[in-house]
Chain A
């Protein structure tokens, strides 16, 4: 491949990422909804379990991580569907970048536009949940390492259900069980920091989960999308 062609592939890739990030934050995009859901769902817990600081501190890592998973899932079900409905998915798949590159660009755009803001907003919710002081760095680190897996695994479900009307719930059932390893290691890391032990082993395993999701998820989404477009 010549250098000229390579540059053009990079700019096709960035064009898709920029467009998707823009659409996610524009009217009808999913990012604000996901962030709003994250904020409101976490803030319901102090009302539900009572404002006792020790109880909130105990459940804080789990609550923040579980709600972040949910927020990622509800925003990713439109990853391919919106483009499928207005016909632009055909164009995206016929682009010189190829389906694999296009899927990678869209997953990256979802992470940048939706799951990364969740990680950035998490410390504020940690305050709300009375998370101990020593755990904030680990909370942010665990979310930064773990959230790419949410976008990657979610994209497989989004690709499988792209042609299914009301496929959101089906996707939830397909995807949420696959989020369990990420959830276990993510919460484990924050819990370790709360109990003043070393969170590094948990973070390493969390990173391994994300890497596996990157290898398997992108290929699986590409294959599922090609199947769905037949």
Chain B
């Protein structure tokens, strides 16, 4: 799928993945999360305070095309399970309140997710980045279905995270207005591989 892909990200980076449909942005995010293993080459993570070992940390949050919400459960239950799953502790009410405020979801907290519109579901899925503290955020099309206000909220969430030393990698077609590196996935297509033949 990719060829000659060679780069490194550092703490505080915002990386914007661009490229045509099918150029492998989503695949690249899943590769970073460790779901996909490279045929050749390697992917390494290294902590600044860890001089000796290369480690792959459980340090990701990924938001994909599907939103990962259970339709029969309320937003509060979904959020609570997500926090328990990722940290082993129940979601504290202050964190939950803060996360719902960012995307103005407070009124929907006790509604079952099946009654949400697609934009509301998407915002509910993005709430995860405020719920759990992880260093590396992987976002697949985070702006889909977001209105201007929520787009600004997302941009400020990302800016705040990179300022704290986090890394955000987002595959997106429209710029979020956050300064950062742009990585054009079209440049890494293997020579002679037509777009139609690309996997996935």
Q: Which residues of A contact B (CB under 8 A)?
A: 7-12, 15-16, 19, 23, 26-28, 85-88, 90-97, 229-230
Is the CB–CB distance between B86 and A95 below 8 Å?
Answer: yes
In the complex, A121→B88 CA distance in Å? Answer: 34
Assess whether B118 is interfacial by the CB under 8 Å rule.
no
Chain B interface residues (CB < 8 Å from chain A): 33, 35-37, 58, 60-62, 64-73, 81-82, 84-89, 128
B66 touches A27 (CB 8 A): no
Verify B82–A91 contact, CB threshold 8 A: yes
**Per a CB cutoff under 8 Å, which of B36, B65, B69 touches A88?**
B69
| A93: B residues at CB distance < 8 A | 35
Taking A15-B85, A86-B68 as given, write out 9 further A-B residue pairs in contact, using a Cβ cutoff of 8 Å, ordered by the A residue number: A8-B89, A11-B84, A19-B81, A85-B66, A86-B69, A87-B64, A91-B85, A95-B58, A96-B58
Residue of B nearest to A97 (CB): B85
Contacts of B62 in A (CB 8 A): 90-91, 94
* Distance to closest chain B CB from A204 (angstroms): 38
A98 nearest CB across to chain B (Å):
8
Cα distance A11–B87 in the bound complex, in angstroms: 9
Q: A94-B62, A229-B35, A230-B36 are in contact. Are A15 and B68 (CB under 8 A)?
A: no
Q: Which residues of the partner chain B approach A23 to less than 8 Å between Cβ atoms? A: 70, 72-73
Name which residue of chain A comes closest to B85, CB basis.
A95
Residue of B whose beta carbon sits closest to that of A96: B58
Residue of A nearest to B87 (CB): A8
A-B residue pairs in contact (CB < 8 Å), sample of 28 = A8-B87, A11-B84, A12-B84, A12-B85, A12-B87, A15-B85, A15-B88, A16-B85, A23-B72, A23-B73, A26-B72, A86-B70, A87-B64, A88-B66, A88-B70, A90-B35, A91-B62, A91-B82, A91-B85, A91-B128, A93-B35, A94-B33, A94-B61, A95-B86, A96-B58, A96-B87, A97-B85, A229-B35
Q: Which residues of A contact B69 (CB under 8 A)?
A: 86, 88
Q: Look across to chain A and name the residue whose beta carbon is closest to the beta carbon of B36.
A: A230
A28 to B112, CA, bound (A): 14
Do B86 and A96 have beta carbons less than 8 Å apart?
yes
Taking the nearest CB of chain B, how far is it from the CB of A100, in angstroms? Answer: 14
B52 to chain A, nearest CB (A): 19
Residues of A within 8 A of B61 (CB): 94
CA distance A158 to B117 in the complex (A): 31
For the complex of A and B, 9 pairs with smallest distance between CB atoms:
A87-B66, A8-B88, A15-B84, A87-B68, A88-B68, A11-B88, A12-B88, A96-B58, A95-B85
Closest to B88 in A: A8
CA distance A26 to B61 in the complex (A): 28
